Amino acid sequence: MTVLHLVDEGEVADLSAFLARLIHYDRAAAVRLQASGQTLAVFGRPPSFEVLAIRTARLAKPYEDGLDDTLDVTVSAGELLESIDESAATANVPAAVTGPPWAGVLPPRGGWRPEPGLPAPAAVRAMVTAVVAEFRSRIDELAPEERTRAALDRIGREIWSRPVGDTDLPVRAAHAAQSLGFLRPPRTAAPDAPDEAVLRLLSSGAWLRLRTPYGSIAVRRAGLGALDVSVR
């Protein structure tokens, strides 16, 4: 069995929290693992957000398994979570599963460049809180017989497709980041740290990526079709 050795208990705790949040939204969630050198990348797709969530973790030593020096496998998020030993800072890689369609199409590895227009982190968090409250309020205003799936979807599309600040990033991406614990202030950020040090918006081809110290949310830019994808 392949064992991943992470750098410390804190790194393992953050990975465990990420997996637990994915399972909260989908008990049968799968994640794609990619390890190379001393970096582990974990990709997941929380239902309803229509985004990819990416959590990286530092390995204590370069990955190796026999003659293999890279890992690329899709596994059960629940089985991976159960295999984690926080005190030993290790995780066993479960048996591979048949990956969902999203696992075959990931954002590109490189070519990312900064995008302007992203509000400050506190403003992004406040915006998410406001739109969640608006969504609930508009649902509550509907008569019981009007609370159909079509009505909920219509309200959701209108709210979650709005742009964040002066960017092409949809609100649903920021909502996903908040729900997965990515938007909390970093533990090591100085009080006067610039906003871009803790929250950045990047683009590569058709993809946008909201990067935070705790993980990233990647989403396809609206209107660019199926170009600029990385099939791996």
Cα distances from 108 to residues 8, 219, 220, in angstroms, run 29, 12, 11
Phi, psi (deg, nearest 5) at residue 154: -65, -45
pLDDT 10s digits, 8-62: 999 999 999 999 999 999 999 999 999 999 999 999 999 888 899 999 999 999 9
- Do 59 and 39 touch, CB atoms closer than 8 A? yes
Q: Where are the domains of the chain?
A: 3-106, 113-225
pLDDT 10s digits, 194-216: 554 589 999 999 999 999 999 99
Whether this prediction's pTM lies above 0.75 is answered by: yes
Structure tokens at 135: 């969504």
Quote the CA–CA distance of 134 and 49 in Å, as a whole number: 17
pLDDT score, position 223: 45
Topology (CATH) of 3-106: DNA Polymerase III; Chain A, domain 2 (3.10.150)
What residue ranges in the chain does DSSP mark as E strands? 3-5, 30-36, 39-44, 52-58, 70-76, 90-92, 105-106, 113-114, 200-204, 207-212, 215-220, 230-231
- Do 115 and 208 touch, CB atoms closer than 8 A? yes
Across residues 70-86, what is the average pLDDT? 97
Quote the CA–CA distance of 22 and 75 in Å, as a whole number: 13
Quote the CA–CA distance of 103 and 33 in Å, as a whole number: 10
Tokens 């533990």 appear where? 187
Strand partners, 74: 32
pLDDT 10s digits, 159-180: 999 999 999 999 999 999 999 9
Residue 103: strand, helix, or coil: helix
